[in-house]
Amino acid sequence: MASKMLVFCGSDDPYKAFPPFMLGMGALANEMELTMFFTMTGLNIIRKGGAEQIELPGAPKTLGEFIALAQEGKAKMIACSAAFPIVGMDENDLIEGVECGGVATFVAAAEESEVVLTFC
């Protein structure tokens, strides 16, 4: 069974939005299962059109490219539905391929993961 990595993505600040994907690509390259949990302003990363607005000069790829690679690598992306009202969005605002979940979803994934990283 593959090792699992869970990454908590809690910010759309470029210096906090890009590292989860950079480290996540490393996990996928090492045949780990990757789950990414997005909450608070981190939800803007997976909001339709949101990734295109978050740029980090010098980054090896755009957030859109990282998202596509993560999805190709079968990473599971989960949006925290409890934070939707805080950031003024709902399930219809999410890019394709993102699941919805809450605190219990995150806690269950954390219990199953060997590596848990947070970026907020």
Of the pLDDT bands very low, low, confident and very high (cuts 50, 70, 90), residue 107 is: very high
What is the Cα–Cα distance from 80 to 101, expressed in whole angstroms? 5
Cα–Cα distance for residue pair 17/110, rounded to 1 Å: 20
pLDDT above 70: residue 1: no
Q: What is the pLDDT of residues 32-83, one digit of tens each?
A: 999 999 999 999 999 999 999 999 999 999 999 999 999 999 999 999 999 9
Specify the 3-state DSSP secondary structure of 43.
helix
pTM: 0.96
pLDDT at 87 over 90: yes
User: Given pLDDT bands bounded at 50, 70 and 90, which one contains residue 2?
Assistant: confident
